[in-house]
Each structure stands twice: as C-alpha cells, then as structure tokens.
Amino acid sequence: MGGLDGLRISPAVPSDLDALGRLFPELAGYYRDRARQAGILLVARVGRRPLGAAYVSTRPAVEPEIVRRLGPVPMLHKLMVDETVRGRRVGTRIVRAAEIVLRRQGRRRVAVGVDLGNAGAVRLYLRLGYREWAWGLLDTVREHADEAGKVIVVPDVCRVFVKNL
Ligand SMILES: CC(C)(COP(=O)(O)OP(=O)(O)OC[C@H]1O[C@@H](n2cnc3c(N)ncnc32)[C@H](O)[C@@H]1OP(=O)(O)O)[C@@H](O)C(=O)NCCC(=O)NCCS
C-alpha cells in the first residue's frame, strides 16, 4: 500500500525506464523498446516512483484484421499497475489519460486486445465504455522482450474492445 496523493500520468522520461523495469521485470525490455518508437509510453507515478504504465501505439496495428475492420486505429498495450495499488483506479486513470492524448491528436477511436480469461481487465474496459467488436477472436501475437530488448514473438488470440472517443 502507498499513498496515491500527487499521482501524475505523463509520457515516460528516460529515468522511468529502470524503475519500470524493476517494477515489471517481465516487461522491462518491452517498455524500453516501445519508448524508442513513435507511440506514447504513459507512466503513472507518485514523485519519481512509477506505479503503472501503458503503451499507446499510434501506428497501424500489426494484425491485418484490425486494419481491415477499424483502419489505422490507435491501440492500448500492456496496461500494468503495481500489484500493491490495484483496485484503486490507477488503471482507470492511465486509460483516461491515453484517451485524452488521443483525442487531442484528433483520433476518434481506440482499441485494445484483452487476453482470454482476463475477466478483470474486461470489467475495467466495459466500465470505461469499451465494447467488444463483432468479429470474434483476433489472431494476434504475444510479444515478450528480454532485458536486452530482444523481442520474442509467439502466436496468440485475444478479444478486441473498441471505444469511440
Ligand atoms: C488490469 C489492471 C491494469 C487494472 O488496474 P487497477 O489500477 O487495479 O484498475 P482500477 O482500480 O482502475 O480498476 C479496477 C478494475 O480492474 C479490475 N481488476 C483486474 N485485476 C484486478 C486486481 N488484481 N485488483 C483489483 N482490480 C482488478 C477489476 O475488475 C476492477 O473493476 P471494477 O472496479 O469494475 O470491479 C491491473 O489489475 C493489472 O495490472 N493487471 C495485470 C495486467 C493486466 O491484466 N493488464 C490488462 C491488459 S489488457
């Protein structure tokens, strides 16, 4: 448990990456890799302590089905909150911050892929106004990046949720 007073959400700065890597070791390489890309890596922190993150991809999705159905829609990836503060709306605030950034960029829609069995994340997105698309499960890939940043890609399926901004 920790106080959430002064929680701020903003794009990652270089000093966030080591701290994020300590908080979510399995995603250290992923966030480091994405911080170099064109999208937005959002970090929630109190002071200098990160408590959560998400990557907002603004490039067309790698899944052809997403592009065919939704066009070059931005997507949320790897929303993560520190276990010790889950259930205290940090995740909600990160998603809302992502939506605000996208709206300011003139985006009208956002999508997210959710792993099968992640009922908690589904409830979160439904509560925030996301709705499951009508085209069933999406063939996708799951990416892991090791701490050296080497990305390992394995086939997977997920559910897709979309919100009009
Ligand atoms: C999903 C996750 C980001 C939510 O963050 P959070 O800060 O706890 O979310 P909030 O407090 O804003 O909202 C809580 C909602 O998340 C859901 N949730 C999922 N896992 C939870 C957990 N371990 N503790 C509390 N709530 C959880 C609850 O359904 C809750 O919905 P409700 O309030 O309608 O019941 C967080 O649980 C997490 O990091 N999970 C592991 C990674 C993950 O599954 N990411 C989603 C990828 S699509």
Determine which residue's CA is closest to atom 26 belonging to ligand 1: 87
Determine which residue's CA is closest to atom 9 belonging to ligand 1: 91
- Atom in ligand 1 nearest the alpha carbon of residue 90: 7
The pLDDT of residue 144:
73
| Tens-level pLDDT at each residue, the chain (165 residues) | 568 999 999 999 999 999 999 999 989 888 998 999 989 999 999 999 999 999 999 999 999 999 999 999 999 999 999 999 999 999 999 999 999 999 999 999 999 999 999 999 999 999 999 999 999 999 998 877 666 767 788 899 999 999 999
Q: What pLDDT, in 10s, does the model give residues 128-143?
A: 999 999 999 999 988 7
The pLDDT of residue 119:
97
Query: In this structure, is residue 130 part of a structural domain?
Result: yes
Percentage above 70 pLDDT, the chain: 96
The pLDDT of residue 151:
75
- From ligand 1's centre to the CA of 117, what distance in Å? 13
- What distances in angstroms separate CA 130 from CA 71, 109, 113, one per listed residue? 17, 10, 11
CATH assignment at residue 128: 3.40.630.30
The pLDDT of residue 145:
67
Domain count for the chain, please give it: 1
Query: In this structure, is residue 147 part of a structural domain?
Result: yes
Which residue range forms the structural domain that includes residue 74? Answer: 7-164
Q: How many angstroms separate the CA atoms of 65 and 91, rounded?
A: 27
Determine which residue's CA is closest to atom 5 belonging to ligand 1: 91
- From ligand 1's centre to the CA of 46, what distance in Å? 19
Q: Burial, 107: exposed, middle or buried (Cβ in 10 Å; 0-12, 13-18, 19+)? A: middle
Query: In this structure, is residue 1 part of a structural domain?
Result: no
Q: Which of 124, 159, 160 to mutate to test the pocket of ligand 1 (most atoms within 8 A of CB)?
A: 124
Query: In this structure, is residue 2 part of a structural domain?
Result: no
